[in-house]
Amino acid sequence: MTRKKILSVLWDYFILSVGTLLYCIAWDSFLIPNNIASGGLTGFCTIIQFASGGLIPMSYTFFALNVLLLIAGVAVLGKGFGLKTIYAVLLSSLLFRILPSFSFLQAVPGNFLYIDNRLLVPVVGGIIEAFGLGLILQRGGSTGGTDIVVLIINKFWPISPGKVYLYSDLVIIASVLLVPGKCFVDMLYGYVAMVTFSFMVDYVLLGSKTTIQVMVFSEKYEEIADYIIRKMDRGVTALKAVGWYTRKDRNVLLIMVRKSQLHELCKVIKEMDSKAFVSVSPASSVYGEGFDELKTGINRKSKKDIKG
């Protein structure tokens, strides 16, 4: 392995570690100390801990159930997925066991992280959980559980990760009502954490990948188009148009860029032609080279192939 490759691998595992730490803090600092169970396998294991009165720590069930799900993950997503997920599962299982011993990290009365408004607890916990898990998923890993299901589904179908979590967690959170002493409001707090998480995880995972459609009306369209192709590594399409007021033919540039590149593009356009007219609009889905892969589901053999 080259030095660059080694540093890239080390950086991936560093980000995985940071994401796993944030994910575990969300649970052990905010949700569990306040008797809130959100969704996913972690939420299911938390409910088991609540139901057993703490006799069955969630760290144990979290590790045991993930072993089974990892087998499915490796089989479908490959060894690269398996190695990073095994690392994240082992680290999170260890952190779930260790973090409760640091009582000062718990968001309870008397501690620095204490939040007086209980409704804000699942919101803060959901945001931290989503940010941590987003970092993990970006590096090709997972904390296991429903994360594995999400990655498997998203590999074949262009379904929002947040929506998969949202639907799968409904039943898990509702099951808290089966725990003695829990009531309807406990389930509501779990749903608050779930909704916050589902929206935030999409933002973390897809925010930097959001695609913007830009149309540029400028007399200096050639200079702008050349810069975009050579410096920004993006394609440009020149559309023939007619200015109805002047009745003159002109070229309009159609450009698809990532949201993170929009600032650079607008700056360049302004420097080259301060009088340019620019139209910017979000593009919900863009597939093709340089953007996302078109996913239509698992390939199925045609009837002709089966018969032949």
What does 255-293 look like in DSSP terms, one character per residue?
EEEEGGGHHHHHHHHHHH-TT-EEEEEEES--BSTTSBP
Does the structure show a pLDDT above 60 at 301? no
Lowest model confidence (mean pLDDT) among 17-31, 143-157, 183-197: 143-157
Does the structure show a pLDDT above 80 at 162? no
Nearest to 63 by CA among 79, 81, 48: 48
SS3 244: coil
Lowest model confidence (mean pLDDT) among 13-17, 256-260, 298-302: 298-302
Residues counted in the chain: 308
Rounded Cα gap, residues 213 and 257, in angstroms: 7
Q: What is the mean pLDDT of residues 5-29?
A: 92
Report the pLDDT value the prediction gives residue 294, as an integer from 0 to 100: 54
Rounded Cα gap, residues 122 and 129, in angstroms: 10
Q: Confidence class of residue 5 from pLDDT cuts 50, 70 and 90?
A: confident
Does the structure show a pLDDT above 90 at 256? no
Report strand pairing: 211-217 vs 277-283. Answer: antiparallel
**CB neighbour list of residue 180: distance below 8 Å, 6 or more residues apart:** 51
Does the structure show a pLDDT above 50 at 110? yes
Let me know if 250 is exposed, middle or buried by CB neighbors in 10 A (0-12, 13-18, 19+).
middle
Asked if 213 and 261 count as a contact pair (C-beta separation under 8 A), the reply is no
Rounded Cα gap, residues 209 and 65, in angstroms: 32
Report the pLDDT value the prediction gives residue 76, as an integer from 0 to 100: 77
Q: Confidence class of residue 42 from pLDDT cuts 50, 70 and 90?
A: very high
Lowest model confidence (mean pLDDT) among 47-56, 80-89, 214-223: 80-89
CA distances from 93 to 35, 45, 82, 86, 200 (A): 19, 12, 16, 10, 23
Q: What is the mean pLDDT of residues 116-144?
A: 88
Rounded Cα gap, residues 30 and 146, in angstroms: 21
Burial track 28-59 (b if 16+ CB lie within 10 A, e otherwise):
bbbbbbbbbbbbbbbbbbbbbbbbeeeeebbb
Report the pLDDT value the prediction gives residue 304, as an integer from 0 to 100: 44
